Amino acid sequence: MSARSWPSSPLAAAARAFTLLVQPPTHVGFDGRGFEGLPDDILPLERLRTLLLSPQTGVEVRDAVWRELVIRARRDGPAWVVAAVGIAMPGLRHVAGALAAGWRGDTSDLDAELLVGFVARLKTIDLEPARICGRLIDAGLRAARKARDADSDAHLIHTDTPDPIAPIYPWDHPDLVLARAVAVGVLDADEANLIAATRLDNATLAQAAAGLGITPSLASSWRLKAERRLRDAIRDGDLAFVPLRPRPRRRRDATHQRVAATRQRVAATQQR
């Protein structure tokens, strides 16, 4: 294949590589035997991708397949890295479209960072928790957002001294850290509210759980897992360049209403 015919877009190039990988005769196929909900056969990777996208395929099956894909990518070399990227391509294209909204630079740069973050995470992702593919795409999204936001001076501190300096208040205020974590998908809104209520507002787990309509034991599990993700994101620098841009008025008002309702439920529980 000539260089002229090869796509210039990183995502398009990755998709082309996947297409070439699966062309017959190919030695790369997925053994569906032993995976409940999959055909008892060696599956072409395009068919596997279709099955994983189907609403009839359960979450447990998807995660079981993705555990095997990640293991293959780590153990069996580049072909399975291409396979993992190709099977995740619909999700990668979706977030690439969201990243490109309002971006005036070259979207190929964002696509490249998205792929780099995804592939790098293949090597380290914990295979026990659910949403393996989702968490891989989230890692790519965070990498691309970091690169995009680093291009803006709005959140950089300029100084002539070469030594590290302390961040200026309120950039490291806990509420803003939680907000940035929600903005990049490290936490969802309920997890951020749970951490804020129990760590910052002195509510007990039982009180915060009642406000969210869940049991205290589930709230404890949620908080533990969420705080681990938050710790890792802070340690890896994933929250360093996350702008908190104003949301459209309707969405912001709806969010404020939900937060206010949650706080009212927690306050009512505290008074009981």
Tell me how crowded residue 145 is: count the other CB atoms within 10 A of its CB.
Answer: 24
* pLDDT in the model for residue 125: 94
More confident residue, 136 or 6: 136
pTM of the model: 0.58
Extract the tokens encoding 117.
Answer: 């973050």
* pLDDT in the model for residue 173: 60
Mean pLDDT computed over 229-233:
87
230-234, long-range: CB < 8 A, 24+ apart: 230/177, 230/178, 230/181, 230/186, 230/187, 230/195, 233/142, 233/181, 233/184, 233/186, 234/177
* pLDDT in the model for residue 272: 52
pLDDT in tens, 94-122: 989 888 877 777 888 899 999 999 999 99
Mean pLDDT computed over 30-34:
92
Q: In this model, does residue 22 exceed pLDDT 90?
A: yes
Q: In this model, does residue 248 exceed pLDDT 50?
A: no
Q: Please tell me the distance from the alpha carbon of residue 24 to that of residue 76, in angstroms, as a whole number.
A: 20
- For a pLDDT cut of 70, what percent of the chain falls above it? 78
Q: Give the CA radius of gyration of the chain.
A: 22
Mean pLDDT computed over 237-242:
69
